[in-house]
Amino acid sequence: MKGRVFVIGLGLIGGSLALCIKKEHKEAIIIGYDIHQEQARLAKMLGVIDEVADHIAEGAASADLIIISAPVIETEAIIHLLSEQLLNPEVIITDTGSTKSKIVEIAATLRKRGYTFIGGHPMAGSHKSGVSAAKEFLFENAFYLLTPEDHIENSKVEQLKSWLKGTNAKFLSVTPSTHDYLTGVVSHFPHIIAASIVRQTERLSEDESLIPRLAAGGFRDITRIASSSPEMWKDILLHNREVLIDLIDKWKEEMDSVKVLLEQENSGEIFRYFQQAKQYRDGLPVREKGAIPSFYDLYVDVPDYPGVISEITGYLAKENISITNIRILETREDEIYGVLVISFQTEEDRQRAEKCIHICSSYATSIGT
């Protein structure tokens, strides 16, 4: 497709979408804007975009597609700004935010001007942020939720999908309220739980100094998402407050039922509680991308001698396998082996890394899920 695409917000998501569009639509011109000008200049230098817009009005004026890739609160302001501009009457405007009801409601100002707004949410992410982390394969096989209102012509939805074809994502159309409920259950609420576990642990550690040391391994893994941007999650929670209040009430009921089982010392029901949780969790799709970014971890038992980490990473570098994170788990002081945890962007990279390390060394590896 020919045309001009204007991407507002050149972080991981906006940058990756720009790359996907450039890959699939080579004749399209990609214009970018970011509130941080150095990000926009970097995006052009990296070839993520073709032109830099100094102002939103400048980039939007002749665009055929406008993608708002900004925090939800900023998206509100951008929609208001766009509704005051003279735009291409055939323009399609979409966003990438993880809440939809309020955004679509605010987008009514665009509809009054005759512009088409279709809410969007690519359900993919990464351990890294910023345009330098943008990848054209970020959304591959991920769910991409679209929330067109009833008055939106199907041809417009198909046109948007065509623009986004290079994502290789799985498009699903749902109502804004359904979207917010689904993402509330599988993304927003788990972030609240992870943060609450960390907060409780922090309070308890005031009376027991060993807690932080013991929480260095598996505890960090199960609460990883609590390290997400506080500013972003403040806005998301406020946007999706009604859904989350209801989910918190249900969670209280769940915890009360577990408390009763403990008070009754009901061994059989406690076993069944964990058994049912295990069965459901084990039955979830392994290779599907969901609302929370997957963590592709490789655990490597390594001997304790100088240079061992650079030795391992050197093997991976020779095979051009990218690492997103690396850390060492705390072990017993008298252990001669440590555990190196290496995180990767994709399952394929993790499998390649495991094979590489097995071939190049005698170190034992295991897969984290």
> Confidence band (pLDDT; 50, 70, 90) for 369?
very low
Q: Which of 138-152, 215-229, 305-319 has the highest mean pLDDT?
A: 138-152
What does the pLDDT average to over 37-57?
Answer: 94
- CB count within 10 Å of CB 257 equals 11
Query: Looking at the whole model, is its pTM more than 0.85?
Result: no
pLDDT at 203: 93
Residue-wise DSSP of 264-323:
TT-HHHHHHHHHHHHHHHHTS-SS-B-SS---EEEEEEEE-STTHHHHHHHHHHHTT---
Please give the pLDDT value at position 73: 93
Identify the CATH class of 179-282.
Answer: mainly alpha
Decide: 102 and 268 in contact? Cβ < 8 Å.
no
Q: Where are the domains of the chain?
A: 4-174, 179-282, 296-368
Q: Dump pLDDT digits (tens) for 317-354.
A: 888 887 777 777 654 444 445 677 888 777 778 888 88
Q: Look-up: residue for tokens 């991920």? A: 142
Q: How far apart are CA 72 and CA 238, in angstroms?
A: 10
Q: How far apart are CA 64 and CA 6, in angstroms?
A: 8
Q: Note whether 4-174 and 179-282 share their fold.
A: no
Q: What is the pLDDT of residue 304?
A: 66
Among all chains, which residue has been given the structure tokens 């498009």? 171
What is the three-class DSSP state of 341? strand
* pLDDT for residue 334: 46
249: enclosing H helix or E strand: helix 241-263
91 Cβ contact list (under 8 Å, min separation 6) = 60, 63, 64, 65, 66, 115, 116
pLDDT at 300: 80
User: For residue 325, what is the DSSP state?
Assistant: E
CA angle 104, 141, 349 (to 5 degrees): 130
Q: CA 23 from chain center: how many Å?
A: 22
Q: Which residue has the tokens 């939720």?
A: 145
Please tell me the distance from the alpha carbon of residue 56 to that of residue 50, in angstroms, as a whole number. Answer: 16
Q: What is the CATH superfamily name and number for domain 296-368?
A: VC0802-like (3.30.2130.10)
Average pLDDT along the chain: 88
CATH of domain 4-174: 3.40.50.720
Pairing state between β 143-147 and 65-68: unpaired
